[in-house]
Structure 1
Amino acid sequence: MTTHTQASTGPVWDWAAGHGPVTGALSATTGCLAVATTGAAAGMPPGWALAVGAAGAVGHTENQPARPAVRPHHPLARRLLAPRCRRRRGTKTPARSPGPPSARWPPSGSAWAPPPAPPGVREEARELEALAAAERQVARELSAERRAIAAQWVDRIQRVCGLTVRVLAVEQWPTGTGFTLDAELPPGGTTYDKIAKESARLSADARLPHGCTASASQGIDQGRVLIDVTTVNVLAAEATYPADYGPLSLHTGIPWGLRTNADEIRAYLREQCALVVGPTGSGKTNMVHTILAGFARATDVLTWVIDLNAGSAGLPWVRPALAGDGKGMRPGVDWLAASPEEAELLLDAAVRIAKHRKMAYQDLMSQANTDLLPISDRIPQIMLVIDEGAEILAGTDKESRRLAAKILEVIRIARAMGIRTVLTALGATGAVLGNLMIRREAKVRVALTGGETEGMDLGKQFPGSRGLRVDQAPYKGAGFMGTPESAAALFKSWRILPNQIRDIVAATSDRHPTLDATSAKAAGPDYARRWDHARTAWMRDDQPATPTGQEEAASTGGGLNLSALRNERPSAPESEADALARRFREQIDAQFATTPEPAAGEPGPAEQPPAAAGLNLSALRAEDNAAKDAALALLLAAGPEGTGASAIARALADEHGTTRQTVVGWLKTWTDDGTAVRVGTGTKARYVHHRHAPDTHA
C-alpha cells in the first residue's frame, strides 16, 4: 500500500477545484501561449496555432461548473457549498485519488469541473428543507397567537392605564403558567411604574384567576417595560421541598422557593443580609427550615442559629446527630443558642472572628486582588439565623438591648469577612423596619402574608415596588420575595417535612465544612465547647416538667391515691365555681405553704397525731417545692412588669440548681391554671402573676 505524504512547505494545489473568472482566463491564456510557442518552435503554420487556441478556449467555456441548485442565501447553501469555498480559499484538502500530480493534471486549456453531489447529499438537503418548512409553519401559528395576545394587552393597557404601548415580543413560559410581554413605553418620559401601580386593575380587567397577577417591572432600558402575566394559580398548591439534596454553593445562590412561573428563586447572600417577615400561621417557621436546608447543603457555609423560644428552630437539625441516628453524623447546624447567655457567647465569638479575619487574611485578599475574603470550603461563610431577631432589635428591656447591640455590630463589621445574618420577624411594621442598619443591609426580603393584613406594610418592606397587595397571596407559605437581582414579586415557599429534615442532616453530614483554624482560634473555648454536655443538656432532656397538684396525683396511677389521704371520694364532675375555688386554694397553698383545713370531725392542727415513721411525702418533695415556692415568689415580686423563665432560672441556679427547662414547665402549669398570665410572644414574652395582671379581679 502506497502512502502519500504532503510536503510541509510550499503551496498546496487542489487539482479538483474549479476555475473562477480570473483563474479561468489565466488558464486559457497560458494554454494558448503554450500552443503558440510549441507551434512556432516546430515551424507549424500559424493557422494550426490559432485553431488549437480556439479549441482550448471553447473547452474551457464548456467545462465551467454549473451554478448550484441551492440559492446562495438559503441555509442549506452554506452546508453544501462550504467544501468548495474552503478549497477556493486554499484550505488543505486531501487529494481525490492517489498517484503523482501528473496523473491528475487537468487537460490543457480547460478547467477541472467538480463532480455532481452524491445522491445522499441531495436527499439530506430535501429532508432539511422539509423540516425548515414545518418549522416555518409552526412559527407562523405561534406568531399569530402572540399577535393576538399582544393586541389584547395593548388595548387593555390603553383602557386601564391610559397609555399606548407597542409590544415588541411575547414570551410564553415553558411551564405553561403564563407569559411575559416586552413593551415599548410611549414617548414623553413615561416610566414603567405607571403600569406597575395598576397591577390589580389590569388583573381584574383580564379576568385572571385568584392568585394570578399582571406585574410590571423594568425592561432592558428605561423606555421599556416587562409585564409578567400569570394565568395559572401555582400558589394554592403545596410545593414539597425538592428531594434532590445535592451540593450547593453560596456563590451560585441558595434556592428559597418558586416564582409563579415555577422557576426557582435564589438568594445570594455573600454580601447581603436577609429579612423574613411572617405572622403566626403564615408558614414562617417552615420557611426557616427551608433556609436551614439550603445552608446545610452548601459546601461553603456554616450555620449558627439563635432562637430564644426554646431553640425550636434549630432543634430538628441537631437532635438526629445527638440521638445517634447515624454513626459519626454531624448536626445540621454548627451552633445553636436557645438562651440569652448562650446567644451572647455566640455573638461575641462572631465579632472576634470578624476582627481577626481582617488582620490574618490580608495576604490572601491581596493575592486574590479583592477586598472581600475569598469564601470557600476551606474558609466558610458563617450564616447567622436569628429567629424573631427583628423583635430583639426592637426590644426595650435590658436583655434585648444588650443582644441587639451585638447583633448590629456583627451586621456592621462582618460583611467583607464572610459573616451575614438572616433575621425573622412577626410583622413588617415600623418598629421592625425602623432600624437603618436593617433596611440598608437586608436587601433580600421575604413577606409571608398568609392573608394576614395586620402589621403587613408591604410598602415599607419593599420600598419602590408598586401593586403589591396582601390578598394576592392568601395561602400558607405564599407571599412576596425581592432581591437585588429580582424585583419583589409573588413566590411560594417549599413545604419541608420532619422526615426530610432528618434525611438532609444525614445526606449532608460529610459535606459540612469546618471552621478554618484562624477563625477557630479567634472564637476561643466558647466555640470549641459548644457541644459540651453541660451546655447541651437541655437538648437531650426528654422528660416533661415536674408534675404538681392534680398532675402529680394522676401520674401515680393505681399505686398511691393522694385523694384518699384527704378523705376525698370520686364524685361527679366539678362545676366551674368549684374548679375556680379549688385553683384558688392551690395557689394559696403553693405560695404560703398552708396546710389543708380539717374536715368535719377531724382533729385540728394541734390535735394531729405524730407522723408515722413509714412514708413522708413532704420529704420527697421538699427540695422541689422550695425551689418552686421561691420561683412563685419571684413572679409575684416582679409586679406588673412580669419576668421570664431565664431570669427566674438565673436567680435560683446558685441556691437550688434549677434549670430553665424546669422553670418553663412551672410557668406553663401556672399559665394553664390561672396563677400567671403570659404577656407578649416570642422573645418579648413575659409572665405576670394573676394579682398584677391587667384583667384580673382578685
Structure 2
Amino acid sequence: MSTTAKQNKPATKADAGSGPVWDWAAGHGPVTGALSATTGAFAVATLGAATHMPPGWALMVGATGALGHTAAGLRMRNAGRTIAARAASWLVGAGWTTWALTHGPLTWAALGSLATIGVGIGTATRSTTLYEEAREDEALAAEQRQIAAELSAGRREVAAEWAERIQRVCGIGVRILAVETWPAGTGFTLDAELPGGVTYDKIAAHAAGLSADAHLPHGCTATAGIGIHQGRTLIDVGTVNVLERETTYPADYGPLSLLTGIPWGYRTNAEEVCAYLREQCALAVGPTGSGKTNLVHVILAGFARATDVLTWVIDLNAGSAGLPWVLPALENSEHGTPTQPGIDWLASTYEEATLMLDTALAVARHRKTVYQGLMRQHNTDLLPISPAIPQIELVIDEGAEILASTDRSVKKLAERILEVIRIARAMGVRTVMTALGATGGVLGNLLIRREAKVRVALTGGELEGMDLGKMFPGTRGMRTEQAPYKGSGFMGTPESPAGLFKTWQILPNQIGEIVAATSNRHPALDEPSATAAGAAYAERWDADRIAWMRDPHHLPEQRATPSAAETEPQRGLNLRALRDQPAEKHSGEADELVSQFRAQLDEQFGTTEEPARPHADRPGLNLRALREDNNTQEQQNARSAALALILAAGPDGTGASAMERALADDYGTRRPVIQRWLKEWSETGEIVRVGEGSKARYVHHQHTREQ
C-alpha cells in the first residue's frame, strides 16, 4: 500500500511508531487491485451463501461493472486490450462469485480458483499499465515530432526565403545550413555556406539592402559576420527593434571581475555585450545628447562592482563625471555610516590630473620590478590581476580632445596619457577615454587606434563627425540612421565584432545604491604600488584636496600654478618650436653684432645700399623651425604617427616606403617629408638605420637596447 498520505504534514508524537499509513485516495496498482477484486468477491460470496442470496445477482453486478468500465475506457481513449482486460476482470470475478454462491465459497476448489483469478487479474493489470505508459510516451514523442516537423518546415521556409534574397540582392548563391531562433524571440541567425572564392564581407556590404528587402523594422539589420571557418558566415537578422525601448540598469549589483568581462549594454538579440579590458584600452565617442555621459556612468558602475579594479577618473569639466560616485559616500560618512566612494580617485583640475597620471606611471614602473618573481611563478609576462593586485582603470572624460589639443600645458597632460597607454599594459594600468566625435583629430593618433580595441560610437542619429569607417575599420554596412535613439550606437571589441548595441539607462538613485552595495567590495591598492604612489595617492581624500566637492562655493583651480618661466616678461617671440633653443640675447647686443658684421662686409666688399622693406609688406614669419611640414597640428600628428610606426615595428624595423603607404591615406604625407624626419631622428639617436639603399630599415632605439 502507498504511504504518501501524510508526507506533507509535520510529524507528531502520535504519528511516531504508528505503522504504515493508508492512503485511501491513492489508485490501485497490479497487486492492490487484484487483492481488492478477490477479497471483494470472497466477501460477497461468503455473505451471500450465509444469507441465501440468489446467484444471478452477482452475475448481474459483474456485467454492470464490465459495461461501466468499458464506457469509461472508451471515454478516456484507453487501448482495446486495456478495456478488454478490465471488463474481463469484472466478468470473471462475477462468474466465480455466482459459482461460489451455488457450491460454497469455503471449499479448497473455490479458494484455489479465486487465488488463480487474483494472480491473473494482477498480471493483466500490470501488462495493460505498461502498455498504456508506452502509448502515452509514444503520443508525446509523436507530438514533439510534429512540433519539430512544423518548426523545421518554418525554418526551411525561412532558409529558402533568405537564400533567394541573398541571391537577388547580393548576387551570391549561398546554401543555408541552419536557422537558429534567438532565445529572446527578437530575431534569428542564419548559418550559410559561401560559394568558392566568396568572403562574408561581400554580404556584409549589402546589409542595408538586405534589411530593406526583408522589410525589417527600423533599428533591425541583417548583419553578416565570420562563421565557423572562412567558407561559412553567420547572418544575424533582427526582427524586433529592442533599441527603441528604454531599459534601466539591471538591479543585480553582484560582484564582477575584469577578467570575465564588464557589461556595457546589450545587442539587438537582447544579449549582454561585455568589454574585456585586461590588456585593451577603450574609446567611446558620442555627440552631445547621444547618451555619452550615461554610458560613462554605466562603465563606472561596472568598475565599481568589480572586485579587482580601482577606478581613477579625470574630468576637467568640474569633475562632473565622477562626483555622483563620490558625493553619496561623503554624505553617508557625515551621517555616521562609513562608505567607500564608487571611484578611487577623482581629478577635476589640470594640476590634480597631472598628479594622478604621474602616480599611475610611478606605479606601473615600480610594478615592473617588484613583481618579476610573481610573473615568473605564473609563467606569464602579464601581471596577474586579482583583488590583491587590482588593475587601475583611468577613465578620462573627453580625453581624446585632450590628446588633440594644441594648448601647451594640455599637451604635457596628453604626453603623460600616451605614456601610460604605451608602457603600462602589462602592469595593469589601462585607460577608457571619451570624445565628442569619431573624427580624424580624435583617431589620428596611431597609438590610440592600436591600443583602444574596445570602441563605442553612440550616434543618436547624428551624421556630422561620426566617421564609422575610421572608428571601425574593415566593418561595412553600418549607418548612423540605424541607431537614432539616445544611448544606442555601435560597439566593437576583439571578442565581439562591431554591431548595433544600446546601453542601459542608469538612474541617479541607482548610482547611490551601487555605491552603498559595493562599498565593502573595492580592493585596496597593493602595498608595493601604494609605496610607489606615495603621499599624492595616500592624501587624495584629504579635506583640502576635496574641499571643492563639499562646498559648492569653493571652485577648484582649473590650471596648475604657472612656472617662473611662464610668468616673467617675454622679450620677443616665444615660439613652441624653438622652446629648446638657447635664450636670445638682448636686442641691443644683437643690433651691435649686426652693425659690426655689416661693417666688416662693407670693408671687404664695399658698401651696398639695401632697399628697406616696409614691415607691412612682409607676408609673415618664415622660420625654419616652423617649416611647412610642422606648422599644423595635423602634420604634428603625422610626425608622431610615423615615429609610432617605427616603435611598433619592433627589432625588425620598417622602411620609408612602408611608412609612406601607412601615412598616405590618413595624413597625405609623402616620401620626401618622411625621409627628412628619418634623417633628423637618426642624427639625434632616436632611431638607428640598418642597411643601405632600398634595403635600409629604421629601428627605434628602445629595441636596439633590448638586443
- Name the amino acid aligned to 2:377: Q
1:506 alignment partner, one of 508, 516, 539? 516
Q: CA–CA distance in 2 between the matches of 1:117 and 1:150?
A: 50
Q: CA–CA distance in 2 between the matches of 1:479 and 1:361?
A: 40
Q: CA–CA distance in 1 between the matches of 2:450 and 2:138?
A: 58
Q: CA–CA distance in 1 between the matches of 2:223 and 2:419?
A: 38
- Name the amino acid aligned to 2:187: G
- Name the amino acid aligned to 2:302: G
2:143 alignment partner, one of 134, 138, 145? 134
Aligned to 1:601: none
Q: 1:166 to 1:536 in 2, by over 3 A?
A: same
The 5 A counterparts of 1:11-410 are 124-187=133-196, 189-324=197-332, 327-410=337-420
Is 1:646 the counterpart of 2:558? The answer is yes
**1:542 Cα shift?**
2.5
Deviations 1:124-162, CA, capped at 9 Å, x for gaps: 544433332222111100001001111111111111101
Q: CA–CA distance in 2 between the matches of 1:127 and 1:246?
A: 45
Deviates more, 1:231-240 or 1:278-287: 231-240
The 5 A counterparts of 1:631-670 are 646-647=558-559
Residues 461 and 483, structure 2, Cα contact 8 Å, conserved in 1 = yes
Aligned to 2:76: none
Aligned to 2:501: 491
Deviations 1:72-101, CA, capped at 9 Å, x for gaps: xxxxxxxxxxxxxxxxxxxxxxxxxxxxxx
Q: TM-score, structure 2 length as denominator?
A: 0.60
Residues 378 and 516, structure 1, Cα contact 8 Å, conserved in 2 = yes
Q: CA–CA distance in 1 between the matches of 2:442 and 2:180?
A: 39
Q: 1:416 to 1:117 in 2, by over 3 A?
A: farther
Q: CA–CA distance in 2 between the matches of 1:250 and 1:326?
A: 32
Residues 326 and 506, structure 1, Cα contact 8 Å, conserved in 2 = no
**1:538 Cα shift?**
0.6
Aligned to 1:64: none
Deviations 1:59-81, CA, capped at 9 Å, x for gaps: xxxxxxxxxxxxxxxxxxxxxxx
**Equivalent position SS for 2:230:** coil
Residues 349 and 559, structure 2, Cα contact 8 Å, conserved in 1 = no
Aligned to 1:528: 538
Residues 548 and 554, structure 2, Cα contact 8 Å, conserved in 1 = no
Aligned to 2:527: 517
**Equivalent position SS for 2:346:** strand
Residues 456 and 492, structure 2, Cα contact 8 Å, conserved in 1 = yes
**1:535 Cα shift?**
0.8
**Equivalent position SS for 1:159:** helix
Is 1:539 the counterpart of 2:549? The answer is yes
Aligned to 2:423: 413
Q: CA–CA distance in 2 between the matches of 1:130 and 1:266?
A: 44
**Equivalent position SS for 1:416:** coil
Q: 1:526 to 1:142 in 2, by over 3 A?
A: same
Query: Greater helix percent: which structure?
Result: 2
Q: CA–CA distance in 1 between the matches of 2:361 and 2:315?
A: 19
Residues 438 and 470, structure 2, Cα contact 8 Å, conserved in 1 = yes
Q: CA–CA distance in 1 between the matches of 2:124 and 2:259?
A: 57
The 5 A counterparts of 1:678-689 are none
- Name the amino acid aligned to 1:159: R
Q: 1:424 to 1:201 in 2, by over 3 A?
A: same
Q: CA–CA distance in 1 between the matches of 2:336 and 2:376?
A: 42
**1:524 Cα shift?**
0.6
Q: CA–CA distance in 2 between the matches of 1:487 and 1:502?
A: 33
Q: 1:529 to 1:480 in 2, by over 3 A?
A: same
Q: 1:300 to 1:326 in 2, by over 3 A?
A: farther
Residues 187 and 239, structure 2, Cα contact 8 Å, conserved in 1 = yes
Deviates more, 1:479-488 or 1:365-374: 365-374
Aligned to 2:655: none
Q: CA–CA distance in 2 between the matches of 1:645 and 1:255?
A: 35
Alignment RMSD (CA, Å):
2.1
Aligned to 2:457: 447
Deviations 1:495-533, CA, capped at 9 Å, x for gaps: 001000000000000000110111100101000000011
**1:334 Cα shift?**
0.1
Q: TM-score, structure 1 length as denominator?
A: 0.61
Q: CA–CA distance in 2 between the matches of 1:542 and 1:436?
A: 40
Q: 1:476 to 1:326 in 2, by over 3 A?
A: farther
- Name the amino acid aligned to 2:280: Q
Q: 1:416 to 1:647 in 2, by over 3 A?
A: closer
Is 1:474 the counterpart of 2:473? The answer is no
Residues 311 and 343, structure 2, Cα contact 8 Å, conserved in 1 = yes
Residues 254 and 268, structure 1, Cα contact 8 Å, conserved in 2 = yes
- Name the amino acid aligned to 2:449: R
Residues 351 and 560, structure 2, Cα contact 8 Å, conserved in 1 = no
Deviations 1:470-505, CA, capped at 9 Å, x for gaps: 000011000000000111000011000100000000
**1:369 Cα shift?**
1.3
- Name the amino acid aligned to 2:230: Q
Q: CA–CA distance in 2 between the matches of 1:649 and 1:412?
A: 28
Q: CA–CA distance in 2 between the matches of 1:462 and 1:383?
A: 23
Percent identity, please. Answer: 72
**Equivalent position SS for 2:545:** helix
Q: 1:354 to 1:117 in 2, by over 3 A?
A: farther
Q: 1:220 to 1:236 in 2, by over 3 A?
A: same
**1:318 Cα shift?**
0.3
**Equivalent position SS for 2:326:** helix
Q: CA–CA distance in 2 between the matches of 1:525 and 1:648?
A: 18
Q: CA–CA distance in 1 between the matches of 2:331 and 2:500?
A: 39
**1:122 Cα shift?**
5.6
**1:647 Cα shift?**
4.5
Residues 215 and 228, structure 1, Cα contact 8 Å, conserved in 2 = yes
Q: CA–CA distance in 2 between the matches of 1:414 and 1:544?
A: 35
Q: CA–CA distance in 1 between the matches of 2:523 and 2:205?
A: 46
Residues 316 and 501, structure 1, Cα contact 8 Å, conserved in 2 = yes
- Structure 2: state its 5+ residue gaps: 1-122, 568-707
